[in-house]
Amino acid sequence: MEKNRKALQLILGIAVAMLIAINSLKAQNTEGFIYGRVYTSDNSYTGQLRWGKEEAYWNDHFNAAKVENQYEKFKRRKSSSSDSWRDLDWRISSIWDDKSSNSVHQFSCQFGDMKELHNNGNERMTVVLKNGEEIRLSGSGYNDGSSQVVILDDELGVVNIPWSRVRRVEFMETPKNLPRIMGAPLYGTVDTHRKGTFTGYVQWDHDERIGTDKLDGDTRDGDVSITFDNIKSIERSGNGSQIVLYSGRELFLTGSNDVNSGNRGIIVSVDNVGKIDIPWSSFRSVTYEKAKASGPSYASYAVPKGLSGKVYTYDDEQINGQIIFDLDEAYELEILEAKDDDVEYKIPFRNIKSIRPKNYNYSMVVLRNGNELLLGDARDVSDRNAGLLVYTKGGNEPVYIEWKNVTEIVFD
């Protein structure tokens, strides 16, 4: 009798746990997951999207190479004669025109900023922004233009579509409560050496970012592969990591780049900041918690507009207008990349209030949330910056400002 009673309690306990999990999933806002319709030559599929085993959220970054040579052409014309660059095409959209060039500039934006993505074949693609602007890109050297697209079709379930079969992806608002998802968001706090803590959505080893992804490693008794939705914390320890599960169980794992120095880094997506990439050498631990939501929704990404603001110079000038930053970035959806020692920041320009060059290698980046970051070791914030173009109201040509003459940029 006692044995039967305990068995019944166990069954009831499991049932209650499953009910709690189901209710939790239904209550969770799913609007932060990428969602849309994928068109192939023969069919279309609608549902939650994931780029291979990586990007799954609207705040994840899409990366490719810009096909343009406006930067090279400007430098060449400027170095020969100040008058000779008057015949350049000064339209803002022309910096993405498809012309022969040896220069390669990266295009990065969040998935939430894209309206459509077209596969043009031969590693070429076209991104259509929410304002209708079309940007021609090359996927060469970037897996975002070659990975399979995974879609949890509303009727068929999971479908893995090779990129070669994709003709067009139409991005759409994600339903608030999807009945099924690929996995729960990974959310938590990462503790670092000397750089404090960061709380947000976590990408482990640059890849794993949903609960059904797995952490691989070796114990003394053999290999294990643990889904992240069972993991409470991971702490770096010697040549491996100490793992604590939500059940309280503890494991020490080695032998895999998930848990040792082969780890490529832990990325934290922090609201109103951007993505912060923490290398293994700076990592101490991560403590996960159940996410209350899945991140910013598709609708939260506004129709893009050009960068604009005020540029102050050492010549005591204030030049107002539309800004081309580093002769490359033209929209607030594009990404500034720089480092705080070995911790790398990738910040959408929309989150930046001002930039003040401090010396040849560093700039003070002030965010709209009030945070101040001294960032360096990157072209965007050092003397390697190619300078600014400012389109002033009523001007026939943009004003070129060398980076060494910039004292501050204040964005509108």
For residues 346 and 331, the answer to whether their CB atoms sit within 8 Å is no
Q: Would you place residue 331 in the very low, low, confident or very high pLDDT band (cuts 50, 70, 90)?
A: very high
The CA distances from residue 47 to 148, 156, 190, in Å, are: 15, 10, 31
pLDDT of residue 73: 56
Mean pLDDT of 286-298: 96
pLDDT of residue 304: 92
pLDDT in tens, 338-375: 999 999 999 999 999 999 999 999 999 999 999 999 99
Count of residues in the chain = 412
pLDDT at 399 over 70: yes
pLDDT of residue 24: 44
Q: Would you place residue 167 in the very low, low, confident or very high pLDDT band (cuts 50, 70, 90)?
A: very high
DSSP H or E stretch at residue 19: helix 2-27
pLDDT at 396 over 90: no
Name 105's bridge partners: 66
pLDDT at 101 over 70: no
For residues 184 and 292, the answer to whether their CB atoms sit within 8 Å is no
pLDDT of residue 14: 36
pLDDT at 11 over 50: no
pLDDT of residue 21: 41
Alpha helices in 28-160 (DSSP H): 70-80
Burial 117-155 (b: 16+ CB within 10 A, else e): bbbeeebbbbbbbbeebebbbbbeebebbebbbbbbbee
Mean pLDDT of 271-280: 97
Q: Would you place residue 106 in the very low, low, confident or very high pLDDT band (cuts 50, 70, 90)?
A: confident
In the chain, % of residues over pLDDT 70: 84
Q: Is 332 helix (H, G, I), strand (E, B) or coil?
A: coil
Q: Is 203 helix (H, G, I), strand (E, B) or coil?
A: strand
pLDDT at 385 over 80: yes
Q: What is the DSSP letter of 174?
A: P
Torsion angle in degrees (nearest 10) through CA of 312, 316, 322, 328: -60
pLDDT of residue 71: 46
pLDDT in tens, 175-191: 999 999 999 999 999 99
Torsion angle in degrees (nearest 10) through CA of 63, 160, 43, 112: -30
Q: CB within 8 A of 290, min separation 6: which ones?
A: 24, 184, 187
Q: Is 347 helix (H, G, I), strand (E, B) or coil?
A: strand
pTM of the model: 0.87
pLDDT of residue 27: 44
Q: What is the mean pLDDT of the chain?
A: 88
Determine the Cα–Cα distance for residues 67 and 122; give it in Å rounded to an integer.
Answer: 13
Q: What is the DSSP letter of 294?
A: -
Determine the Cα–Cα distance for residues 67 and 314; give it in Å rounded to an integer.
Answer: 34
Q: Is 162 exposed, middle or buried (0-12, 13-18, 19+ CB in 10 A)?
A: exposed
pLDDT in tens, 152-164: 999 999 999 999 9
Domain boundaries, the chain: 35-68+103-171, 187-296, 305-411
Instruction: Match 């009910």 to its residue by tokens.
Output: 19
